[in-house]
Amino acid sequence: MSLKYNAGTLKKLENLLEEARFIVRYEKGNFNSGHCILEDKRIVVVNKFFNLESKINCLIDIVQKLDLKSVELTEDSAQLYLKIAENKLNEIEISKEA
């Protein structure tokens, strides 16, 4: 599986979180890590001033922190989650190609 830093990859990560019943929002704020997870409300807030690459990296970090094993995901999202959750980012091969 190969991920690229483009709008399609960002959408895949957003869809994965939405399937897990999280709301993804892009807002301004003082986030030390660039994002905030409100688990009780199932909301993920990412700094809206980040560039595309930073937003993707932020969502990958968030997915790694969440336990989504009991959530029913589509096949594509489940594969993406397993790769991210198992820290096999070297297998995902994120590239900067468009």
93 vs 88: CA distance, rounded Å:
9
Please give the share of the chain, as a percent, with pLDDT higher than 90.
42
pLDDT of residue 2: 60
One-letter-per-residue 3-state SS of 45-62: EEECCCCHHHHHHHHHHH
- For residue 54, give its domain range: 7-91
Looking at the 3D structure of the chain, how many domains does it have?
A: 1
- The residue among 12 and 92 whose pLDDT is bigger is 12
Residue 2 lies in a domain: no
Contact 38, 85 (CB under 8 A): no
When the pLDDT of each residue in the chain is averaged and rounded to a whole number, the result is 83
Residue 97 lies in a domain: no
Residue 81 lies in a domain: yes
